[in-house]
Amino acid sequence: MKTIKVSVVTPDGPVYESDVEMVSTKAQSGELGILPGHIPMVAPLAIGVVRLKKNGKEQDLVAVSGGFLEVRPEQVTILAQAAEKAEDIDVERATRAKERAEQRLRESHQENIDFKRAELALQRAINRLTVTGRQ
Ligand code: ATP
């Protein structure tokens, strides 16, 4: 089986690196699947899950909070604002973040709360919980 090298990098350093059979991500324009030999491209990413296929199965999941995907002939690079492998996600923290964001969204019509900001925080929290299988 042909493979392609994938790196997920954040401002804090590399988060994930492996040779995989397929990379599935959520670009801002929709779901994107990258196989070895994909044409070079750059795409902005949404808050979403990066799914990495190895040995015929989806083996690894990484939560990504937006950024960019760059595809080159031998390499996929994901430059993310924040990214966590499933095993590095603190479920309690994500649950607290989700509750906080939901509370802010409930209050946003009465107080001067930034609705978009709370909505993005909620998406990040739900995404993290999805990756750990808690959502
Ligand atoms: P919180 O309100 O809990 O900080 P957040 O969505 O605002 O959540 P970010 O700004 O996206 O957090 O991330 C800040 C840093 O904390 C990043 O390095 C990110 O990887 C890490 N991080 C955020 N939430 C979690 C979590 N639940 N488990 C592990 N790392 C996390």
Q: What is the pLDDT of residue 46?
A: 97
pLDDT the model gives residue 7: 98
Pocket test for ligand 1, best of 93, 123, 132, 134 (most atoms within 8 A of CB): 93
Residue 14 and residue 80 in one domain: yes
Predicted pLDDT at 29: 95
Q: Which residues form the domain of 48?
A: 4-86
**Residue 58: strand pairing partners:** 53
Instruction: Give φ, ψ of 46 to 5 degrees.
Output: -90, 175
Nearest atom within ligand 1 for CA of residue 84: 20
pLDDT at 91: 98
Ligand 1 centroid to residue 73 C-alpha, Å: 32
Same domain, 75 and 101: no
Ligand 1 contact via 65 beta carbon (within 6 Å): yes
pLDDT of residue 112: 66
* pTM, entire model: 0.94
pLDDT at 73: 87
Using CA atoms, how far apart are residues 21 and 71, in angstroms rounded to an integer? 14
d(CA 133, CA 116): 25
Residues of the chain with pLDDT under 50: none
Rounded Cα–Cα distance for residues 133 and 118 (Å)? 22
CB of 124 within 6 A of ligand 1: the answer is yes
Q: Are residues 78 and 97 in the same domain?
A: no
CATH number of residue 78's parent domain: 2.60.15.10
Q: How many domains does the chain have?
A: 2
